[in-house]
Structure 1
Amino acid sequence: MSLLYYRQKQAWASLRKKPGFVGTVITTMGITLGALLCILTLAYVLIAKPLPYPDQERLYRVDSEFVDANKEGVGKAFTYPSLMHLYQKQTIFDESALLYFGEDVLTSSPAQPTMKTAFITPEWFNLLGVEMALGRTFEDSEALNTNNPVAILSYRTWQEEFSGDADILSQKVSFSGTSFSIIGVLSEDFIEPQIFTTGLNSQVFMPWDFNEAPENLRKSWSNINDTQLFIGKLNDKHSLSQAKQILTPLMNDVWQENVAGMDFFKGWSLTSEITSLQSVILGDNRDTVYMLLAGVIGLVLIACANIANLFMSRTAEQQRQLAIHAAIGASKKQLFKGLFAESGLLMALSIIIALVIALGGFEIMQHFLAQRLPRVDELSLNGFTLLCALAITLVLALFFAKLSANMINYRALNSTLQSSGKGSGIQVSHKVRQLLIISQVAIVTALVFVNISLFKDAVDTIDKPIGFETNNITSLVLAGATSTPPSREERKVIMQELKTKLAQLPQVEAISQSASPLSGFGIWAQVVVSTNERLVVETKPVDNNYFDLINQPLVEGRIFTDTEISNEVDVMLVNDVYARHLAGDESPLGMQITFGSPDDPASVIIGVVKGMTIPGRSERPMRAYPAAHLRGTRLMLKLKPGQSISRQQAAEIIAGVTSQYSLFELSSLDDRRDNLLFTQYTTAITSAILALLTFFLAAIGLYGILSYGTQMRRFEIGTRLAIGAKRKALIFMIIKDNSLALVTGIITGMILLLALYLGFPEELETYLQVQLIPVFALTLSLIAIISWFACYWPLRQLINRPAIHSLRGSE
C-alpha cells in the first residue's frame, strides 16, 4: 500500500510541473466522458432498467385495432362498450384496470387551474404497487358503478396547489360541478407509468364512473376514443400468442353483432394487440437513444485519439527521466506502473468532472425533455452510472499507460542518458501517426456529416411553410363548471354573448368560433354518396371566419356565409388532398358526403382550401371542414400586433357572461407551434454543438499529430531550406506526405456511414437523400480546411525563419 501511495505521490509531483497538459486532459476527457455517462445512464433507464412496479414483466396494455374491408389497419382505440365488455368478460389477466385520461378546471380553487385528471378502477393501485403518503387508495366502494365521488392527489399537486396542508383529507375538490372528497395523497416516490403519452403526470385521480365520456358515447359501438386504456397482469397459464387468440374473438364478435346494421363497417373487424408496459413506455425512442450513443461515442473516440497524442508526446519528453529510472534498475513492468499511476490519476480527476457534468445533464434532460423522452425523471447517479465510471476510468488509464509504455525502447534508454538526452530514444512511429490521422479523419467525417444532415433536416422542418398563420392568434377553450350542462339553445346564447364581449376588447381584431388549426381534428367516418366509398378522414367543424383568420388559402369555390352557419346548413369544405382523392383532376364542388350513418343528411362540398401540415410533421392528410354550429365552446382570437390577453382577464369576462362555464385553456398558437417543433429545435441546437465540438476536437488532434510529425522532420526541413527550397514546395511536400492518410480517413468515414445506413436503412432513409450531396461536399471542404491548417501551421514557424533555427537542436 505504501508503494502504491508513493507512486501516486510521485505521479502528482510530476504532473504538477505540466499544468497545461493536465488541464487539457481532464477538461477534454471530463466533458466528453460526462456526456457519455449521461447518455449511457439514459440508455440503461430506458432500455434495460426494470419498471418500478411489482411483477412488471407481466404487465401489459391491451389495444383494440380496427381493420377495414381491405384488411388495412385504420387505427387503435376502443369504443366505450367494447372496453367495458373486455374489462368485465376477460379471464386471462389476474388483475386488470381501466384508465381514462383528461383535463378539467379545478373550480373549487380561486385560481381555477386546469388539472390533468385520470379516472381509474381500484385495481390500478394494486397493479403498480402504489404507496401512499397520506390516506388510502380506492377500494371496492369506489369500484365500477358505485358512483362514489372521491379523489386522490399526486404528491406534487398536494404540495403545489394545497401547500402541503396536513389537513388535506378533510377537504374537497370540484370538477364540472361535482365535488370529490380527498381520501389520499400518493407517495412522493411514486412514478406514474407514461402509457398514454410521454411526459403525462396526472394530478388528480378519480373513480372510473366519473370519466368525461358523454352518455351517448358510452352506448355507441361506432365511436372510438384513444384516451381510454386497459392494462392488466397476464396470468401464468397463457402466452402472449394465446392471449391474443382469446381476446380477439372476445372483442370482435360482440362488436360485429352491434355494428351489423351499419353499412359503413361492412367487412371490418377488430383485432387485439397486447404490448408489455416496458415497450409501451419506451415507444419508438430506442433508435433515438442509439443515435445519441453513437454520437457521443464518436466524440469520446476523437477525444481519446487527441489525448493519446498528448500522452505520446509527454512520454517522448520524459525519455531522460525514464532513462534514469532504467539505469538504476527499474524494469519495464515498473516503468509501466509509473506511467499507469499518472494516467490513472488523470482519468480519476477526469471522471470526477464527468460525474458532475452528468448530473447537470440529468437536470437539463428532466427540465427540457420530460415531454419527449420517457422515464427521464428516473435519471440519477445510480449504481450503473458509478460502475460505468469506474470501468471507464480503469480501461482508459490502462490504455494510455500501455500506449506510452509501448513507445519505450528499453535498450535505447541508456544511450539516451549517455548522449545527455539528445537523439530520439523515444519516438512516435510513422505508422502510429498515420493510423491516428486516419482514425481522426474517419470519425470526424462520419460524425460531421451526420450532424450537419440532422441540422439541415431540423432547420428545413422548422422553416417549412405549414399552410396557415399563427402570429398574434390565441386559442380559448371553455370547460363545463356545472354537473348539468346547458342545453344547445342556451349554449348558443352564451357563446354569442361571450363573442360580443371579447370582440369589444381593444386588443382583439377578429374572432372565430372554431378550434385551433393545431388541434381539434377528429377521425370521422364518411361516405361519398355518388360512389358509396367509405373513408375515415380528419374532420373539424369550423365557422365562416376560420380560414380568413388563420389565412389558409382558398383554392376553389367559396367559404361559408353567416346565414349558412346560423341556419346550420349542411355544407362543407375539403382540403386539396381530399379533393384530389374524390375527383382527381376534376372539381369536387357539388359532391355530397354523409358522416357514417345513411340517415344523416348529406353535406355538399362548396369549396376547396390548400392543405396544411402540423408543425414537425411532413404529411398532409385528407381533411374535411363541415360548417360549425354556433354552440361550440372553442374560440380563436386574432389579436392586434403587440397585444395580448391575460388568463385573468379572459376568466373575468367568462364569469361576467355565465357561471356554467370556466376557462379551460388560453394559449398562443405561436407557443403551441414552438412546442410542436421542440424536437426540431433541440435537434438543430444539439447537432450544431456536436458538429462544432467535433471539429474543435479534430482540429486539436490533427494539429498535435501533424505538428509532432513536422518536428520530427525539423532537420530535413532546415536542410531543404538551406539548399534553396521554396516555402510553397515545403508546404506542398508536407500536405502530399499526409494526403494518403487524410484520403484514407475520408474513405473510411464514408464506409462507416455506409455501414450505418445498411444497419438502420428505414431510420436513415429520410436523411440520406440526393439533396445531401452539398452537405457532403461541405463536410469534405471543412475537413480539408482543418487538415490544411494542421499541416501548415506547425510548418509555418519553421519556414518563416532562417534555416539555421531548424538546423540547431536537430542533432
Structure 2
Amino acid sequence: MIALANKFRLALVSLKHAPGFCISVLTTLGITIGALICMFNLNHLIYVKSLPYPDHDRLYVAQGESYNKNEMQLDGYHLYPIAELLYKKQDVFEHVSIIHFEEQLITSISGQPKLNVTFTTSGLFTIVDAPMEMGRPIADTEDLDARNPVAVISYKTWNDYYGKRSDILNQKLTVGETSFSIVGVTAKNFSEPELYSIGRKTAVWLAWDFNSIPEPNRKGWQSWSPSLLVVGKLKKGVTEDQANQQLTQLTNTEFKAQTVGVGWLKEGSIKVRLESFESAIVGDNYKTVMMFLLGALALLLIACANVSNLFLSRTAEKFREYAIRATLGATRAHLFKHVLYETFVLMFLSSMLGLVVAHFGFELLKTHAQEQLPRINDLSINFITVVFAISVAALLASFFSVIITNMIKYRRLNSSLQSSGKGSGLQISAKVRSMLILSQVILASLLLTGSFNILKQSLGVINQAAGFETENLVHVVMTTGAQQTTRPERIQMIESIKEKVLELPQVGDVSNSIFAPMQTNNFVSLVTKELSGNEKNQANTNMIDHQYVPMFGLELVQGNNFTQENIRDSAKMVLVNETLAKFYAPDGNALGMNVFWQSQPEPYKIVGIVKDIYIPRTGVTSRVYLAGSSSLSFVIKLKDNHDLNKNELIDLVSQVNRNIAIYSFIKVDDAYKNLLARDIAIVSITAAIAVLALFLASLGIYGVLSYSIKLRRYELGVRMSIGACPKRIAKVVFSDYSRPVMFGLLFTMCLTILLYAWSLNTDSFAIELIPSMLSFVLVVLTSVIACALSLRNIIWARPITILRGE
C-alpha cells in the first residue's frame, strides 16, 4: 500500500511540471464529466431507483376511461360516484384512497394565501408510509362520511406560515366556512408522489368529506373530473390484468344501472385501467431524460478526443524519458503502469471536479426544471454517484493509458536514446491525427443533429401562434368567503365590481368570464345534437360575456358574437369552435344549429363559430362558450405599459363588499408562458449541450491541426520560399485535412438518412433533414475556421523565418 501511494505521489510530482496540460485536461473533462454525472443521476432516478415508498411495485393509480361505441372519449377522468364506489366496494387493493386536488384560500392565516390543498382519506398516508414530524396522519375513523374536520399540514407550511410553533397541534385552520383541527405535520424529508402534476406540492391535506365538489356533481353521472384520483396498493397475488377486469366490471355495471334511460349514454361505457405510480409520475419524460444522457455522453466523447490529442503531444515530449526507463530495464508492463498512475491521478481529479459541477447542476435543475422534470428534488450526490464518478475515472485512465503505450514503439526506445537531434523524438502519426479529426466530426455532427431536431420540435411549440391575445390581460377570481349570495345578488355584485375596476386609470376593459382560454379544460361538459341521441361530445366549456371574444382577439369565422342583451338575459345561445362545429356538421353548416347542453331539455342555438386556439402540448379539442356567467371571475384588460397591483384591486373591490377576497390573480401572459416552461427548459439544456459540443469539437480540431501544421512547418516554408503564395499554401493544407472531415460528414449523413427512414415508420422518434443539414454546415464552417486559425502564423510569416524555426 505504501509503495502504491509512492507511485501516485511521484505521478502527482510529474504532473506539477506541466500545469498548462493539467489545467486543460481538468477543465475539459471536469465540466463534461460533471454534465454526465448530472444526467446519469437523473436517469438512474427515473429508470432504476425505486420510489421511496414500501412495496412501490404494488402501488397504482386507477385511471378512469370513458367510451362511446367502443371509442374512447375521456382518459384519466373519474365520476365522483364512481370514485366513492371504488373506495367502498373494490376487492383488489390492500389499502385504497380517493384524492381530489384543489387550491384554496386559507382564511385563518394572515394574508389569506391560496395554497395547494389535497382532500383525501387515511389510505393515502398508509400507502406512501408518510413520515410525520409531529402528530399523526388522517385516521380511518375520519374517512368517508365521518364529517370530522381534520387537517395535516406539510413541513414547509408549518415553517412558512406558523414559524414552527410547538403548539401547532392545538391550532385550527380555516377553509371557507369550515374550521379544521390540525392533527399532524409531515416530516421534512417526506417525498410526496407527484401524481397530479409535476412539481405540485401539497401544503394542506384535508379530510375527504369537505372537498368543494358541488352536491349535484357528487351524485351526478355526467360530470367527469381530471382532478379526482383513486390510488391503492394491490393485494399480493392479484395481477394488474385481474384488477383491471374486476374494477371495470364493478364500475361499468353500476354506471349502466345508473344511466338507464339516458339516450346518449345508451352505448356508453367506462373502464378502469391501473397505471403504476412510476408511470403516473414520470409520464412521457423517459425519452427526454435519456436524450439528455446521450447528449452528455457525446460531449464527454468529444472531450476525450480533445484530451487524447493533449496526451499524445505530452507523450511525444516525454519520449526520451520513456527511452531512459526502457534502457534501465523497464518493461512494457512497467511503462503501462507508470502511464496509468499519471493518467488515473488526472482522471480522478477530473471526476472530483465533475462531482462539484454536478452538484451545481442539480441545484440548477431544482431551480429551473422542478415543474418540468419528475423527481428533481430527489437529485443529490450519493454513494451511487461517487461510484459512478470513480468508475468513469478508472475507465478513462485505462483508455488513455492504452492509447499512450500503443503509441510508444517499445523496440525503438533503446535505439532512440543513442540518437539525438531532429527526428529523434516521437511524433503522432498522420493516421492517428486523421482519426482524431474524424471522431470529433462524427460525434459533433451526431450530437448537433439530435440537438437541432429537439430544438426544432420545442421551438415549434414555443413559437406556435396561440390564436388569442395574452399580453396586458389579468385573470382574477374573487370569493365572498362564508357569505352566501343568491344569483341576482351575485349578478348585481358583478356589475358593481366591473364599474369600480373600470374607474382605475390603467384599466381599459373588464369581462365577466369564468376562464382564460388556456384554462377551459378545467370545465368539461356534455354537448349533444339530440337530447337523447348518441352524437355527443365532451367539450371544454367556458361561460363568457360579450366582451370576452374581442378582448382575447378570438377570430369569428362564421356568425356573430354575443350581444349585451344576450348576456343580460342568459340567452340559450352558444359559440363553438371549428372542431366542435365540424363534429356536428362536417359540411360546415353548423351555424344556426340547435344543440343540447348537459342534457337540459331546452336547446341552445349556435350563433357563432370561432377559430380553434392553440394550447401548448395539448391537441385541438372541442370548445363551447355559453352566454353569461354569475361567477366572480373577471378578465381585466390593461392599457399598454400599465400594471395592476393585487393589493390595489383588493382595496377597490372591498368597497363593494367587505367580504370579497382575491382567490386568484394571474397574468394571462405568465400563465401561458408556464405552459411553455417544459419546452423552454428543453431548449435551454439542449442549446447549452449543442454550443458546448461545437466549442469542444472546434478546440479539438484546432489542436490537431495546429500540431500537424507545426510538423509540416519546414515543408511549408520551403514551398513558400520557391514561390508558393499564401492562397496556394492554404489550398494544400485544406485539401489534406478536409478528407477526415468529409469522411466524418459522409458517415453521419448516411446514418441520419437511415434514422430518418426509420422515423417515418415509428411514433417514438422523429427526425427531420433540414435541422440535420444545418448541423453539417456548422461542422464544416467550424473545421474551416479552425484550419484558418492554425495557418495564420504560417501564411503571414516570411519564408526565412519559418525555415529558421523562429
Q: TM-score, normalised by structure 1?
A: 0.95
Q: Closer, same or farther in 2 for the Cα pair 1:464/1:260, shift >3 Å? A: same
The answer to whether the aligner puts 1:492 opposite 2:488 as a matched pair is no
Which residue type is aligned with residue 791 of structure 2?
A: L
CA shift, 1:588, in A, is: 2.5
* Deviation readout 1:287-320 (Å, 9 max, x if unpaired): 0111101111111110011001110111011112
- Separation (CA, whole Å) in 1 of partners of 2:684 and 2:373: 17
* Deviation readout 1:336-360 (Å, 9 max, x if unpaired): 2221122111112211211111111
- Separation (CA, whole Å) in 2 of partners of 1:470 and 1:641: 12
- Alpha carbons 1:319, 1:416 under 8 Å: kept: no
Say how many residue pairs are matched. Answer: 803
Give SS of 1:198's match.
Answer: coil
Residue number among 562, 571, 587 corresponding to 1:569 in the alignment: 571
Aligned residue runs from structure 1 range 275-354, under 5 A:
275-354=275-354
- Separation (CA, whole Å) in 2 of partners of 1:763 and 1:100: 37
Aligned residue runs from structure 1 range 350-389, under 5 A:
350-389=350-389
Give SS of 2:520's match.
Answer: coil
Match of residue 674 from structure 2: 675
* Deviation readout 1:415-443 (Å, 9 max, x if unpaired): 33222353154232332222222111111
Identical-pair percentage: 36
Mean Cα deviation higher: 28-37 or 265-274? 265-274
Give SS of 2:52's match.
Answer: coil
The answer to whether the aligner puts 1:528 opposite 2:524 as a matched pair is no
Q: Closer, same or farther in 2 for the Cα pair 1:659/1:808, shift >3 Å? A: same
Give SS of 2:592's match.
Answer: coil
Give SS of 2:591's match.
Answer: coil
* Deviation readout 1:35-92 (Å, 9 max, x if unpaired): 1101100111111111111111111111111111143343331111111111111111
Give SS of 1:506's match.
Answer: coil
Match of residue 603 from structure 2: 602
- Alpha carbons 2:756, 2:766 under 8 Å: kept: no
Aligned residue runs from structure 1 range 153-232, under 5 A:
153-232=153-232
Q: Closer, same or farther in 2 for the Cα pair 1:430/1:59, shift >3 Å? A: same
Mean Cα deviation higher: 465-474 or 552-561? 552-561
CA shift, 1:539, in A, is: 2.1
CA shift, 1:497, in A, is: 2.0
Aligned residue runs from structure 1 range 44-123, under 5 A:
44-123=44-123
CA shift, 1:708, in A, is: 2.3
Give SS of 2:33's match.
Answer: helix
Match of residue 692 from structure 1: 691
* Deviation readout 1:538-583 (Å, 9 max, x if unpaired): 2212110101111222222211111111111101112233334443
Match of residue 798 from structure 1: 794
- Separation (CA, whole Å) in 1 of partners of 2:401 and 2:641: 63
Aligned residue runs from structure 1 range 524-563, under 5 A:
524-529=525-530, 533-563=535-565
- Alpha carbons 2:68, 2:265 under 8 Å: kept: yes
Match of residue 405 from structure 2: 405
Match of residue 145 from structure 2: 145
- Alpha carbons 1:481, 1:659 under 8 Å: kept: no
Q: Closer, same or farther in 2 for the Cα pair 1:764/1:358, shift >3 Å? A: farther
CA shift, 1:585, in A, is: 5.2
Cα-Cα RMSD:
2.2
Which residue type is aligned with residue 20 of structure 1?
A: G
- Separation (CA, whole Å) in 1 of partners of 2:487 and 2:86: 34
Q: Closer, same or farther in 2 for the Cα pair 1:224/1:649, shift >3 Å? A: same
- Separation (CA, whole Å) in 2 of partners of 1:643 and 1:793: 51
Mean Cα deviation higher: 528-537 or 435-444? 528-537
Q: Closer, same or farther in 2 for the Cα pair 1:264/1:485, shift >3 Å? A: farther
Which residue type is aligned with residue 797 of structure 1?
A: N
Q: Closer, same or farther in 2 for the Cα pair 1:334/1:505, shift >3 Å? A: same
CA shift, 1:10, in A, is: 2.6
CA shift, 1:799, in A, is: 3.6
Mean Cα deviation higher: 458-467 or 468-477? 458-467
Q: Closer, same or farther in 2 for the Cα pair 1:761/1:309, shift >3 Å? A: farther
The answer to whether the aligner puts 1:592 opposite 2:594 as a matched pair is yes
Match of residue 740 from structure 2: 741
- Separation (CA, whole Å) in 2 of partners of 1:304 and 1:754: 27
Match of residue 508 from structure 1: 507
* Deviation readout 1:116-150 (Å, 9 max, x if unpaired): 10111112111111121111112233121110111
- Separation (CA, whole Å) in 2 of partners of 1:759 and 1:40: 27
Q: Closer, same or farther in 2 for the Cα pair 1:735/1:700, shift >3 Å? A: same
CA shift, 1:754, in A, is: 4.7
The answer to whether the aligner puts 1:583 opposite 2:585 as a matched pair is yes
Give SS of 1:518's match.
Answer: helix
Q: Closer, same or farther in 2 for the Cα pair 1:102/1:586, shift >3 Å? A: closer
- Alpha carbons 2:121, 2:140 under 8 Å: kept: no
Q: Closer, same or farther in 2 for the Cα pair 1:50/1:763, shift >3 Å? A: farther
* Deviation readout 1:586-632 (Å, 9 max, x if unpaired): 442211111141x4311111112222112x34743332212123x11
- Separation (CA, whole Å) in 2 of partners of 1:586 and 1:209: 46
* Deviation readout 1:194-239 (Å, 9 max, x if unpaired): 1111111110111111111111111001211111111111111311
Match of residue 646 from structure 2: 647
Mean Cα deviation higher: 786-795 or 97-106? 786-795
Aligned residue runs from structure 1 range 727-738, under 5 A:
727-738=726-737
Which residue type is aligned with residue 557 of structure 2?
A: V
- Separation (CA, whole Å) in 1 of partners of 2:308 and 2:619: 48
Match of residue 719 from structure 2: 720
- Alpha carbons 2:33, 2:354 under 8 Å: kept: yes
Q: Closer, same or farther in 2 for the Cα pair 1:628/1:192, shift >3 Å? A: same
Q: TM-score, normalised by structure 2?
A: 0.95
Give SS of 1:64's match.
Answer: strand
5+ residue gaps, structure 2: none
Which residue type is aligned with residue 16 of structure 1?
A: K
- Alpha carbons 2:98, 2:230 under 8 Å: kept: yes
CA shift, 1:7, in A, is: 2.6
Q: Closer, same or farther in 2 for the Cα pair 1:88/1:410, shift >3 Å? A: same
Which residue type is aligned with residue 28 of structure 2?
A: T
